[in-house]
């Protein structure tokens, strides 16, 4: 089945971001990854879904702050079908971009203590497109302060941001298919903490967790709930064991928790009836592999 044009917007945005000139980086990392997700749940689907995810991530730190860009291509099994398909699952592209503008670097603010390394202004966006009957097209912006915590090794960032979301709902009433949610607050924690195992093998415990407060009513007038998503992984640096540069190949187990997915209540009321549809909490083991450049 031919992908809709909207599904191609995310790769176009990625190519544009890569093509734009950027200031010289003080530090950078880029990797291609694969993530296997078992026992995933999506709202209204009363089956466990398997998702295979191909990931591209790049991050850098420069003279005034840092950039982070991630693109996930998610491929579901047949329990999460593509629109009009008689077999095979849906495909989704999800793009995340965040920029941190450092107060210490930009204004010599002198913010530093045993607990805090810096404070930054974060701006960012999420974009997605998925070729299901629902045909979501999420467009989200965040802006607000991020506290860069000061662990002995690695990093940990805690943000409190203004959150605003727009999306598409093909099942909504005519004229209301493009939905604008109320602005709300997102709490976000991101971390990457190295853990040495031996002289040749290191590891990193990394991930993120966020909570987005209720964002008003959805397309059929149902009040949203606080959405919580956490995705963690313990990555083992096996590059040196395979005869390549240390840090090049990282693999390891992970875990995903997603509660009130997309802000939907549990269960989801069906408008105009006393019926409900399931909105199971995702509590899923994962496996992730990365090749860094």
215 near 206, Cβ under 8 Å? Answer: no
Question: Which stretch, 42-51, 146-155, 268-277, has highest mean pLDDT?
Answer: 146-155
* pLDDT number for residue 178: 87
At 106 the three-state DSSP class reads: helix
**How high is the pLDDT of residue 283?**
95
- Local structure of 78: helix, strand or coil: coil
Higher-confidence residue: 96 or 5? Answer: 96
Q: What is the mean pLDDT of residues 163-179?
A: 84
Looking at the DSSP assignment, which residues form a beta bridge with residue 65?
A: 62, 101
pTM for this structure? Answer: 0.89
HSE of 203, CA atoms in CB hemisphere, 13 A? 13
* Cis omega (within 30 of 0) for bond into 267: yes
Of 212 and 178, the structure prediction assigns the larger pLDDT to 212
The 8-class DSSP code of residue 183 comes to P
pLDDT tens-digit series, residues 75-105: 999 999 999 877 789 999 999 999 999 999 9
DSSP state for residue 264 in the 8-state scheme: -
Q: Mean of the pLDDT values across residues 135-160?
A: 96
Those residues with Cβ within 8 angstroms of residue 174's Cβ, 6 or more apart along the chain or in another chain = none
How high is the mean pLDDT of the chain?
89
Tell me which residue of 179, 189, 188, 231 sits closest to 213, measured CA to CA.
Answer: 188
pLDDT winner (highest mean) among 43-52, 64-73, 167-176: 64-73
pLDDT of residue 211: 98
Task: Give residue-wise pLDDT tens across range 24-51.
Answer: 678 999 999 999 999 899 988 888 999 9
Task: Inform me whether the pLDDT recorded for 142 exceeds 90.
Answer: yes
Cα(225)–Cα(192) distance, rounded to whole angstroms? 29
Q: Which pairs from 71-76 meet CB under 8 Å and 24+ separation?
A: 71/10, 71/11, 71/14, 71/95, 71/96, 72/35, 74/130, 75/51, 76/49, 76/50, 76/51
Give the residue-averaged pLDDT of 156-171: 94
């Amino acid at each position: 089945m031919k992908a809709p044009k909207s599904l191609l917007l995310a790769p176009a945005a990625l190519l544009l971001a890569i093509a734009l000139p950027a200031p010289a980086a003080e530090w950078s990392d880029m990797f291609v990854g694969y993530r296997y997700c078992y026992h995933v749940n999506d709202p209204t689907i009363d089956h466990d879904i398997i998702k295979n995810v191909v990931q591209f991530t790049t991050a850098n730190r420069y003279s005034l702050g840092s950039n982070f860009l991630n693109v996930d291509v998610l491929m579901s099994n047949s329990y999460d079908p593509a629109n009009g398909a008689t077999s095979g699952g849906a495909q989704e592209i999800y793009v995340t971009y965040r920029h941190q503008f450092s107060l210490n670097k930009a204004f010599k603010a002198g913010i530093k203590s045993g607990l805090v390394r810096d404070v930054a202004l974060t701006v960012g966006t999420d974009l997605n497109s998925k070729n299901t009957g629902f045909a979501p097209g999420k467009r989200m912006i965040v802006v607000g302060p991020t506290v860069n915590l000061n662990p002995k090794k690695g990093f940990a960032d805690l943000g409190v941001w203004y959150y605003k979301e727009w999306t598409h709902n093909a099942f909504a009433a005519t004229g209301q298919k493009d939905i604008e949610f109320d602005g709300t607050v997102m709490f976000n924690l991101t971390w990457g903490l190295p853990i040495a195992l031996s002289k040749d093998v290191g590891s990193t415990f990394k991930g993120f967790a966020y909570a987005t407060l209720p964002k008003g009513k959805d397309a059929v007038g149902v009040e949203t709930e606080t959405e919580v998503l956490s995705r963690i992984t313990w990555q083992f640096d096996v590059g040196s064991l395979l005869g390549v540069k240390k840090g090049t190949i990282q693999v390891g187990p992970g875990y995903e928790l997603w509660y009130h997915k997309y802000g939907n209540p549990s269960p989801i009321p069906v408008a105009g009836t006393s019926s409900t549809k399931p909105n199971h909490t995702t509590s899923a083991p994962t496996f992730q592999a990365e090749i860094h450049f």
